[in-house]
Amino acid sequence: MTMNIVHLIEQKRDGGTLTDEQIRWFIERFTAGRVPDHQASALLMTIIFRGLDHRELATWTDAMVHSGRRIDLGEIGRPTVDKHSTGGVGDKVSLVLCPLVSACGAAVPQVSGRGLGHTGGTLDKMESIPGWSATLDLIAAHRQLSEVGCFIMAASAVIAPADSRMYSLRDVTGTVPSIPLIASSIMSKKIASGTEALVLDVKVGRAAFLPDPDDARRLAHTMVELGEAHGVRTRALLTGMDVPLGLAVGNALEVTEAVECLAGGGPADLREVTLALAEEMLELVGVDADPAAVLDSGAGMDRWRAMVAAQGGDPDAQLPVARHTETVTATRDGVVTDVDALAVGRAAWGLGAGRTVQTDPVSATAGISLHVQVGDPIETGRPVMTLHTDDEDALEQTRAQAEGAVVISRTAPPTGPLIRGRIGP
């Protein structure tokens, strides 16, 4: 069959399905830079409106996996299991989970990403640690996984390069919100990274990437099916993202809170989500360990320090501190009935903690320290949050939005569960 990108666009536009051969041809040529961006964007836009059926999606994902190398993590000496979150506000779970699960006896090869908009990125948080590097070549990554039991690193050019190029294009062409494209993007990287098992943390709520619960559940089912089809034991938890997770939002602030959790402290909600995911990860790979007991023992902290040091960081270094801070106080007595995660995330972004496009720089110091959570009693004048930034002008621009995120009423509201569902074998 003679391939023609215009024909593929028209075929999909008119409601047809793409053959396996057409999909593989497109992904191969696109990765090699032999399909112009405007034509690739047109095809992606047809997928936004027409979708991909089960066969098309399976082939599309497989082609993206094979656009680079599928890494072999054999001879590690322990089972490998990874975790992926769809992103949220205050979501520093990976920083605790990666060394904790490693301390329990599994190996955790965590290939992570950067934040965009109101959601934070694991790599941005880790890079607030002096000296720490997200770049590991495959030999160094394999060695660290064997010796330390975990790493957190950026995707290399050999891991699903089609996704890296496609994500950048989708980001600037309005073709991000498609469940097939989201699922294939996430799963192609995870499958190619060589892990035996994967647990997905799919956020649900107003600050989630997909706030509608039905959409989030469909995405979770789709990703579980893709993982299982490629021989990766995959499971998903649906977790709440209406309020921030923990009390810290912002890169260095979140590292500090993650370390507190590894030391046996930290907010209860962060601990709950971390332990729920750890239990699923260990069960998937058949490791019999109690992650709560391991967390309390301090073994996770030992593994954290080893992981940070192995990637050039100083686990004892003072984290950077913002030049300007401002504390917001309560204007009435009552009970905290809401902390809007989306508003908090956007305010932290305005202070410098986030980016609009992937190439934007982010501030390690910017963010928000919350002093209250939903259900807390509060009195007039008590601190509600502290804003942190290196840009004094940003305080004035974001103060009102941050203040409006916290609602104080007379009675405490009912609170829903943090863990809202489980999908997979």
137 burial via Cβ count (<10 Å: 0-12, 13-18, 19+): exposed
CA–CA separation, 100 vs 279, rounded Å?
A: 11
Whether 185 is catalytic is yes
Given the residues 83, 114, 189, 203, select the one marked as catalytic.
189
Known active-site residue 235 = no
* Catalytic option among 12, 24, 84, 114: 84
199 and 284 in contact (C-beta within 8 Å)? Answer: yes
Q: Is 170 a catalytic residue?
A: yes
Q: Round to whole Å and give the CA distance between 241 and 167.
A: 24
Residue 222 C-alpha from the chain's centroid: 17
Catalytic pick among 62, 91, 124, 163 = 163
> Is 189 a known active-site residue?
yes
Tell me, letter by letter, the H, E, C secondary structure of the chain: CCCCHHHHHHHHHCCCCCCHHHHHHHHHHHHCCCCCHHHHHHHHHHHHHHCCCHHHHHHHHHHHHCCCCCCCCCCCCCCEEEEEECCCCCCCHHHHHHHHHHHHCCEEEEEECCCECCECCHHHHHCCCCCCCCCCCHHHHHHHHHHCCEEEEECCCCCCHHHHHHHHHHHCCCCCCCHHHHHHHHHHHHHHCCCCEEEEEEEECCCCCCCCHHHHHHHHHHHHHHHHHCCCEEEEEEEECCCCCCCEECHHHHHHHHHHHHCCCCCHHHHHHHHHHHHHHHHHCCCCCCHHHHHHHCHHHHHHHHHHHHCCCCCCCCCCCCCEEEEEECCCCEEEEEECHHHHHHHHHHHHHCCCCCCCCCCCCCEEEECCCCCCEECCCCEEEEEEECCHHHHHHHHHHHHHCEEEECCCCCCCCCEEEEECC
Tokens 């106080």 belong to residue: 329
Indicate which residue of 83, 170, 203, 303 is catalytic.
170
Going from the C-alpha of 214 to that of each of 205, 206, 238, the distances in angstroms are 11, 13, 11
- Count of Cβ atoms closer than 10 Å to residue 201 Cβ: 26
Dist CA 220 CA 202 (whole Å): 7
Our answer to whether residue 84 is catalytic in this structure is yes
> Which residues are known catalytic residues?
84, 163, 170, 185, 189
